[in-house]
Amino acid sequence: MMPITSNKATNYRLNREHPVILAYHGVTDTPTNGIVNFAGKHIKADVFREQMAYIKAHHTPVLLSDLQDRLRSGKIQGNLIVVTFDDGYENNFSVAWPILQELGVPATFFLSTGFIGGQRMFWVDQVEYIFNHTDVPSVQVDLPGHDNHCFELRSQRDRIHAVIMTKRVLKRMSPDERRSVLADIRRQAAVDLPADAPQPYACMSWNQINEMGADPLIEFGGHTVNHEILANLTPEDQRDEVLGAHEALKGVNSYRNLFAYPNGRSIDYNAATLQLMHELDYTCATSAEPGFVDLDDDLYQLSRVIVRANDNPHMRNTHAAHTFPFDMERVPVIEEDQQ
Ligand SMILES: [Zn+2]
C-alpha cells in the first residue's frame, strides 16, 4: 500500500489519534423568553440530534471511563469522542437521554449533588433569572474590587451585559461574599425566585438519575455538592464539596470515580484539588480548558470542547467556537463568561 503523503490525509490520521471530549450542559425543546439561555448553554433538541448523528457516523463515541482505560493502555486510535454533560439539568433526562438512546451514543454526566431532587437554581441561573424578570430600569451593584456599577436594564442587550459582568465578578468571590452581593441585587431588582426552578434551570431528581443509571449507555461522575469553584475554597471546604458529592452518588447505578471541576478553567482548581482527587481514588477528571486529548495528558486535567448553540444576536461574535462539526485542526476558544 502506498504511504499517505498528502497534508490533508496526514492531518486526518493525526487527528484520529486525538480523542475529543465534548462538554454539554443542557438540551432544550422549549422556546425561550427574554434573555433566558442567551449564551446557548442549553442547545436545541434538533441541533443536538444532528450532532449526535454526526458523531455516530464519523467518530467512535465512548464513555469517559472507556477513554481513560484506553489512555492508560496507550490505545487511543479510532477517532474516539466522548459526550459529557455538566451540572445535572432536568432536560438531560427528559430531552438529551432519549436522543442518546435513539442514536446509541453513550454519555457521561457530571452531577452537582446539592441540586438533585431539589428546587434550587444554580446561582449563575439566578443571575440570569433576576435580570430577565426585573421591572426596574437599573440596578446599582457594589462589586468589591470594582467601582460601584450601575447596570442599565432597559433593553435585552443591557440585561445580557449585566448578567455577563455580574457573573464574571461573582465567580471570583468567596461563597459568602457572593451570596451577599446576589441578595442585594435581588432586593434592588425586586424579583422573587420561584419556589420551583423553571425550565431550563430545573435539575434532575434521584429517581430520574437512577432510571438513567440502569442504561449501559450512561455513567455518572461528581461535580461537587454546591457547584462551588474549588479554587475559591479552603482545602477543608474543597474536601467537603468533593467528598459530599462522592458520598451522595456512591449508591447510584453507573456512578464511576470520575470528576469534572466546576467552571473548569485552570484557575478554577488548584494543587489541593488535585491532591483530593488522588486521595479519594478518583481515576480521571476533566477540565473546561479547551483542547483535544493526547496520550501524555494528565488524566486529572483532561481538556474538553464546550459545545453551545448560540443564536442570540447579541452574542454572535462568540459563535465561531461552537460550529459543528468541529474544525479538527483548531481548538476552539471559549470566553470564560460563557460557562
Ligand atoms: Zn458545572
Run of H or E including 305? strand 302-306
Ranges of the chain with pLDDT below 70 = 1-16, 144-146, 309-339
Residues 6+ apart with CB under 8 A from 90: 199, 202, 203, 204, 205, 208
From residue 61, give the alpha-carbon distance in Å to each of 22, 103, 141. 10, 11, 45
Query: How many angstroms does the Cα of residue 124 sit away from the middle of ligand 1?
Result: 10
Rounded to an integer, what distance in angstroms lies between the CA atom of residue 318 and that of residue 104?
31
- Cell 441561573 appears where? 125
Asked whether the beta carbons of 255 and 219 are under 8 A apart, the reply is yes
Residue 135's contacts (CB-CB under 8 Å, 6 or more residues apart) are: 190
- How far is the centre of ligand 1, averaged over its atoms, from the C-alpha of 5 (Å)? 42
pTM over cut 0.75: yes
In which residue are the cell numbers 488524566 written? 299
- CA of 332 from ligand 1 middle (Å) equals 19
> Strand 26-28 and strand 255-260: pairing?
unpaired
47-51 contacts, C-beta under 8 A, 24 or more apart: 47/309, 47/324, 48/24, 48/95, 48/96, 48/99, 49/99, 49/102, 49/103, 50/324, 51/307, 51/324
Report domain extents, the chain. Answer: 19-118+201-338, 123-189
pLDDT tens digits, one per residue of 222-259: 999 999 999 999 999 999 999 999 999 999 999 999 99
Cα 261 to ligand 1 centre (Å): 7
Q: How far is the CA of 87 from the centre of ligand 1 (A)?
A: 5
Question: How far, in Å, from the CA of 1 to the mean position of ligand 1?
Answer: 48
pLDDT at 189: 97
Q: pLDDT digit string (tens) for 165-187?
A: 999 989 999 999 999 999 999 99
9 C-alpha to center of ligand 1: Å?
37
The CATH superfamily holding the domain 19-118+201-338 is Glycoside hydrolase/deacetylase (3.20.20.370)
